[in-house]
């Protein structure tokens, strides 16, 4: 983890083997929205991918419903990487 990249919310490129993705790092506002979404019963995995997956520095999906129509295994892999960004810099995360 690069602390400067995390603090400046620099997008993160992630190689999932068969797929390379660009992810928007979460801000404090995202953390608050994540809490709200989880309490409202929204599919949290789909919300993470909807909110953070980028293409050309723009949100990739237009809606959570679009995410829900995708291959679940691929969406789960992407969501796992996004989830890591929410704990970036914490002592509980494996520091690289």
pLDDT tens string 6-44: 888 889 999 999 899 999 999 999 999 999 998 898 999
Domain that holds residue 13: 3-86
Task: Give pTM, 2 decimals.
Answer: 0.86
Q: Which of 4-8, 27-31, 48-52, 67-71 is predicted least confidently? A: 4-8
Asked if pLDDT for residue 47 goes beyond 80, the answer is: yes
Report how far residue 89's alpha carbon sits from residue 63's, in angstroms, rounded to the nearest whole number: 29
Supply the mean pLDDT for the chain: 89
Which CATH number do you get for residue 33? 3.30.2220.20
Q: What is the pLDDT of residue 69?
A: 97
Query: DSSP assignment, residue 41?
Result: T
Q: How many domains does the chain have?
A: 1
């Amino acid at each position: 983890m690069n602390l400067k990249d995390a603090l400046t919310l620099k997008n993160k490129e992630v190689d999932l083997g068969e797929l390379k993705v660009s992810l928007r790092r979460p801000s404090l506002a995202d953390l608050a929205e994540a809490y709200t979404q989880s309490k409202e019963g929204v599919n949290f995995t789909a919300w993470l991918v909807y909110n953070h997956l980028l293409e050309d520095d723009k949100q990739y999906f237009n809606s959570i419903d679009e995410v829900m129509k995708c291959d679940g295994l691929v969406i789960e892999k992407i969501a796992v990487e996004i989830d890591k960004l929410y704990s970036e810099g914490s002592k509980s995360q494996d520091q690289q």
